[in-house]
Amino acid sequence: MSGKPKPADNESNDVQKVTILLVDDMVDTREGLKKLLSYEPDFKVVGTAGTGREGLEMTKQLKPDIVLMDINMPDMDGLEAASRITKSIWKTGVIMMSVQDDTDYIQRAMKAGARFFLPKPVDMNKLYSTIRDVYQVMEPMRRQWQMIEEGAGIANIQQIAEKSASSGDRAGHVIVVYSPQGGSGVTMLATSLASGLMKNNSRTLLIDANMEFGDVAAFLDIRPQATLADVAESAHDIDVDYFDNFVTTHNSGIRVLPGVMKPTIGADIRANAPDAVANIINQIRGYYDFIVVDTAKSLFDVVNASLFDIATKIVMIVTPTLPSIKNARLVLEVFDGNGFAPEKISIVINKNPEAARKGAVPPPEKIQTYLRRNIDGIIPLVDESFILNAINRGVPVIASDRDTRKAPIAQLLKYSDTLYGMLMGAQEAEPRLDTRPSGIGRIFGSR
Ligand SMILES: Nc1ncnc2c1ncn2[C@@H]1O[C@H](COP(=O)(O)OP(=O)(O)OP(=O)(O)O)[C@@H](O)[C@H]1O
Ligand SMILES: [Mg+2]
């Protein structure tokens, strides 16, 4: 095969060999593969690792041409390790191996950036040819990496690696989802938006900045290896590669920085580094198109205040209840007082009841009139079991049913598209409701 590197004449001629790192938690598999691969004159196994984390560290250190990676491993699985490797050491080709070879696993491996998937037990001839094929495919990447390394020094390699990982400059929109009323659906909407905005190859990150009861990990069934608390420690000086080590990738591809595990930890951050989250976001926003932030209800909390400041859009949720609408209006007054332009705030009604029950609660038009602002999205109240079912499966509500005409999926998709349009300048932003003259005190009046 044309991509096969010239066999080395002797051991010192290693430069031309395909360098391989083996990552598998089973010692026997690792050693067996190592032995068999060493018989091939054009291969050189440069290291072995027993966990995903060790594999990631060794890849950063050894920068092999190929990483052969098992999926099921303790201390960071192979998918997570592959995803981190392909973002930072992009010249390395990852080949995934697993006893689980159903489509779902293969897709997840590809999403993590793997170049090929081989079922276990591995057919050695297939493995040899796959290594050579992937090595050939990665040739331009290696050349580019080498050029940068020779010409620009390590600092720039890092920068260019980061740039390459994010395919250039990103829009950096920060969407802070907020409601002054607890339980209004902030986490439901934030997780759904993070998923809904992931279109046209946009790069999206979801941050759980609810310092008391962060629910994002629970909504998405993520068992985080790191949380916001870990990054907050060095919030003043974050680079995107370092930051990526703390980000968990959800099955759906959403990148998530999970929230603090305990309210006491959140209280520490609020007391000692209240603007840590905003600082972190400002340092990495250029690498993402959208950073969606889930927040707690407190308005004057310093964490929230700093997030409101840096937000491109504050998505405020109102539910059709008197306290929620009243508080929303008070919040808008505070935002006005802060000098926030009205366009900075996008209002969404959540838990809007079915037509049959509408008489008992203020309709969107009345809420809009009372708030003197447009309503950009209306999400219906649905059977709680629908939402709980999505949470139990760890799927964002917006993506929890194949039927996209179903409530509240259709409305979540519509609002997500509206928001995308408002931020990215698409033409098809949804028409808004008419704004009628102010009707203070008439929220519950006749229609
Ligand atoms: N459109 C909806 N229809 C029915 N139930 C909903 C809807 N949106 C959210 N819920 C339910 O309301 C509850 C609160 O939702 P969620 O946790 O997203 O709100 P929150 O504002 O993040 O709450 P918290 O203040 O605890 O952070 C959940 O039990 C969720 O299932
Ligand atoms: Mg919440």
Residue 350 CA: which ligand 1 atom is closest? 1
* Site residues for ligand 1, CB cut-off 6 Å: 179, 182-188, 210, 213, 215, 297, 350-351, 379, 381-382, 384, 387-388, 408
Question: How far is the CA of 12 from the CAs of 47, 58, 63, 135, in angstroms?
Answer: 17, 22, 18, 20
**Region of 330 on the Ramachandran plot (φ > 0 left; ψ -120 to 50 alpha; else beta):** alpha
0.95 exceeded by pTM: no
Question: How high is the pLDDT of residue 15?
Answer: 55
Report, as an integer, the average pLDDT of 155-170: 48
Q: Are 257 and 429 in contact (CB under 8 A)?
A: no
Which ligand number lies closest to the CA of residue 317? 1
Using pLDDT thresholds of 50, 70 and 90, give the confidence band for residue 8.
Answer: very low
Convert the pLDDT of each residue in 84-135 to its tens digit.
998 888 889 999 999 987 888 888 888 888 999 999 999 999 999 999 999 9
Q: Are 175 and 293 in contact (CB under 8 A)?
A: yes
Question: How high is the pLDDT of residue 361?
Answer: 86
Q: Cα separation of 179 and 321, whole Å?
A: 13
Spatial neighbors of 344 by CB under 8 A, at least 6 apart, are 311, 312, 313, 314, 335
Which residue, 230, 208, 211, is CA-closest to 219? 208
**Residue nearest ligand 1's atom 31 by CA:** 387
The CB density around residue 62, as the number of other CB atoms within 10 Å, is 16
Using pLDDT thresholds of 50, 70 and 90, give the confidence band for residue 12.
Answer: very low
Distance from the alpha carbon of residue 315 to the mean position of ligand 1, in angstroms: 15
Residue 426 sits at φ, ψ, to 5 deg, of -70, 155
Convert the pLDDT of each residue in 264-304 to its tens digit.
999 999 888 888 999 999 989 888 999 999 999 998 888 99
Domain architecture of the chain: domains with CATH: 11-141 (3.40.50.2300), 173-424 (3.40.50.300)
Q: Cα separation of 81 and 55, whole Å?
A: 7
Q: Are 235 and 276 in contact (CB under 8 A)?
A: yes
Mutate to test the pocket of ligand 1, among 184, 188, 386 (most ligand atoms within 8 A of CB): 188
Q: Which helix (H) or strand (E) holds 172?
A: none
pLDDT at 315 over 50: yes
Distance from the alpha carbon of residue 297 to the mean position of ligand 1, in angstroms: 13
The CB density around residue 59, as the number of other CB atoms within 10 Å, is 25
Beta bridge mates, 97: 70, 118
Angle at the Cα of 138 from the Cα atoms of 65 and 33, rounded to 5 degrees: 40
pLDDT at 146 over 80: no
Report, as an integer, the average pLDDT of 296-324: 94
Distance from the alpha carbon of residue 202 to the mean position of ligand 1, in angstroms: 26
**Region of poorest pLDDT, from 53-62, 184-193, 222-231, 307-316:** 222-231
Q: Cα separation of 219 and 330, whole Å?
A: 29
Question: How high is the pLDDT of residue 235?
Answer: 84
Report, as an integer, the average pLDDT of 203-224: 93
Scanning the structure block, which residue is given the tokens 């067996």? 32
pLDDT at 162 over 50: no
Question: How high is the pLDDT of residue 273?
Answer: 87
Spatial neighbors of 22 by CB under 8 A, at least 6 apart, are 30, 33, 34, 37, 45, 47, 48, 49, 68
**Region of poorest pLDDT, from 18-22, 205-209, 334-338:** 334-338
Distance from the alpha carbon of residue 11 to the mean position of ligand 2, in angstroms: 59
Q: Cα separation of 301 and 304, whole Å?
A: 5
Question: How high is the pLDDT of residue 157?
Answer: 40
| pLDDT mean across residues, the chain | 85
Dihedral sign for Cα atoms in the order 408, 412, 418, 421 = negative
Q: Which helix (H) or strand (E) holds 119?
A: strand 116-119
Q: Are 126 and 118 in contact (CB under 8 A)?
A: yes
Convert the pLDDT of each residue in 126-143 to its tens digit.
999 999 999 988 887 787
Question: How high is the pLDDT of residue 147?
Answer: 66
Using pLDDT thresholds of 50, 70 and 90, give the confidence band for residue 428.
Answer: very low
Which residue, 394, 382, 397, 385, is CA-closest to 219? 394
pLDDT at 193 over 70: yes
pLDDT at 309 over 60: yes
Q: Which helix (H) or strand (E) holds 48?
A: strand 43-49
Residue 391 CA: which ligand 1 atom is closest? 31
Residue 88 sits at φ, ψ, to 5 deg, of -100, -50
pLDDT at 258 over 80: yes
pLDDT at 160 over 50: no
